[in-house]
Structure 1
Amino acid sequence: MAAISAAMVKELRERTGLGLLDCKKALKETGGDIEQAIENLRKSSGMKAAKKAGRTAADGVVAIRVADDASYGQVIEVNSETDFVARDDSFLAFVDTVADKAFAEKQVDVAAIMAGDLEAAREALVQKIGENIGVRRAADSSGDVVGGYVHSTNKIAALVTLKGGDVELAKDIAMHVAAVNPQFVSPADVSQDVIDKESDIIKAQPDMEGKPENIVEKMIGGRIKKFLAEISLTEQAFVKNPEFTVAKLAAQAGAEVVGFVRFEVGEGIEVEEVDFAAEVAEQLAASK
Structure 2
Amino acid sequence: MAITAQEVNKLRQMTGAGMMDCKKALVEADGDFDKAIEILRKKGQKVSASRSDRETSEGVVFIKTSDDQTEAVLVSLNCETDFVAKNEEFLSIGDSIVDLAFREKPASAEELKGLKLDDLTVAEKLTELVGKIGEKIDIGAYEIMSGEIVVPYIHANKKLGVLVALENTDGKGEEAGKDVAMQIAAMSPVALDESEVDQATIDRELEIGREQAKAEGKPENILDKIAQGKLKKFFKDNTLVHQAFVKDSSMNVSQYLDSVNKGMKVSKFKRVSVSA
The verdict on how the C-alpha distance between 1:41 and 1:194 changes in structure 2, with shifts beyond 3 A counting, is closer
Q: Name the residue aligned to 1:216.
A: 223
1:265 equivalenced with 2:256 (yes/no): no
SS in 1 for 2:192: coil
SS in 1 for 2:161: strand
Give aligned pairs, total.
230
The verdict on how the C-alpha distance between 1:224 and 1:98 changes in structure 2, with shifts beyond 3 A counting, is same
Kindly provide the amino acid, as one letter, of the partner of residue 77 in structure 2.
Answer: V
2-side partners of 1:49 and 1:210: how far apart? 55
Q: Trace 1:98-109 onto structure 2 (pairs within 5 A).
A: 98-109=97-108
SS in 1 for 2:189: coil
1:253 equivalenced with 2:252 (yes/no): no
Kindly provide the amino acid, as one letter, of the partner of residue 93 in structure 2.
Answer: F
Q: What TM-score do you get using the length of structure 2 for normalisation?
A: 0.74
Kindly provide the amino acid, as one letter, of the partner of residue 256 in structure 1.
Answer: K
The verdict on how the C-alpha distance between 1:52 and 1:203 changes in structure 2, with shifts beyond 3 A counting, is closer
1:57 Cα deviation from its structure 2 partner:
2.5
Q: Name the residue aligned to 1:270.
A: none
Q: Name the residue aligned to 1:11.
A: none
1:265 Cα deviation from its structure 2 partner:
0.5
1:79 Cα deviation from its structure 2 partner:
1.0
Could you give the per-residue CA deviations for residues 239-263 of structure 1, whole angstroms, max 9, x where no partner exists? 2222221101111122111111111
Could you give the per-residue CA deviations for residues 127-183 of structure 1, whole angstroms, max 9, x where no partner exists? 222222111220111111111111111111111111122122112211111111000
1:89 Cα deviation from its structure 2 partner:
1.0
1:51 Cα deviation from its structure 2 partner:
4.5
1-side partners of 2:41 and 2:149: how far apart? 52
1:121 Cα deviation from its structure 2 partner:
2.4
1:67 equivalenced with 2:66 (yes/no): yes
1:152 equivalenced with 2:156 (yes/no): yes
1:78 Cα deviation from its structure 2 partner:
0.8
SS in 1 for 2:74: strand
Contact 1:74 1:139 in 2 (8 A): yes
Kindly provide the amino acid, as one letter, of the partner of residue 230 in structure 1.
Answer: D
Pick the aligned partner of 2:211 from 204, 209, 219. Answer: 204
1:266 Cα deviation from its structure 2 partner:
5.0
The root-mean-square deviation of aligned C-alpha atoms, in Å, is 2.8
Could you give the per-residue CA deviations for residues 16-56 of structure 1, whole angstroms, max 9, x where no partner exists? xxxxxxxxxx9xx9xxxxxxxxxx98997875555445533
Q: Trace 1:121-270 onto structure 2 (pairs within 5 A).
A: 121-165=125-169, 166-205=173-212, 210-254=217-261, 255-266=264-275
Q: Name the residue aligned to 2:6.
A: none
How many percent of aligned residue pairs carry the same amino acid?
Answer: 36
Kindly provide the amino acid, as one letter, of the partner of residue 112 in structure 1.
Answer: E
2-side partners of 1:45 and 1:133: how far apart? 11
Which range is displaced more, 114-123 or 41-50? 41-50
What stretches of structure 1 of length at least 5 have no aligned partner? 1-25, 30-39, 268-288
The verdict on how the C-alpha distance between 1:54 and 1:190 changes in structure 2, with shifts beyond 3 A counting, is closer
Contact 2:75 2:98 in 1 (8 A): yes
Could you give the per-residue CA deviations for residues 53-92 of structure 1, whole angstroms, max 9, x where no partner exists? 5533332111112211111112111111111100111101
